[in-house]
Structure 1
């Protein structure tokens, strides 16, 4: 990532590509799990509800995983800081 608050164009492109990959995976996963009737151009109410539930569940799971990762990262940083302070005090 760039040193400043703004992302470089290459970073923006990479972020957008990553987003599209995740979006396409989610779309394919929910489509395969929920859509089974190809005799109509429209989604049946059950298919529509299934796809919404699938998406919401995925987004909640992704948010929870991100939150837990952040929590573990904070703990790891605190442990590293404590270790560095401890080793600095004994030298």
Structure 2
């Protein structure tokens, strides 16, 4: 739900920005209720340009995002292969004995004499 709300919010912000820019660029006279033919033409061109630019940006973004995703997948696969190779290498090595270390043996025998 948050994702959908974020999309709606982004769309409304873009819509408001385009409306603001096109209105301020195209409408010169606020004394009449109706738009002049020149204002209508200007507003149509303004909205068309924003729409075309937005579509073009989305196409470029999608292409770049696809490349980024492919690189990430390749990196993840390489990392997994490396981890798998390390795990296999560890399994092939003989295990070291975990016995307690031997104490050095004494060749000398101690003799005690009691008086």
State the distance in 2 between where 1:78 and 1:55 align: 34
| Larger RCO (CA within 8 A; separation ≥ 6) | 1
Partner of 1:55: 47
Q: How many residues align?
A: 83
Q: Which of the pair is proportionally richer in helix?
A: 1
Larger Rg over CA atoms:
2
Q: Over aligned residues, Cα RMSD in angstroms? A: 1.9
Q: What stretches of structure 1 of length at least 5 have no aligned partner?
A: 1-7
- Residues 11 and 43 of structure 1: is their aligned pair in 2 closer, same or farther, counting only changes over 3 Å? same
CA offsets per residue over residues 59-85 of structure 1, 9 Å max, x none?
Answer: 111111111111001001111222233
Q: What stretches of structure 2 of length at least 5 have no aligned partner?
A: 86-115
Partner of 1:4: none
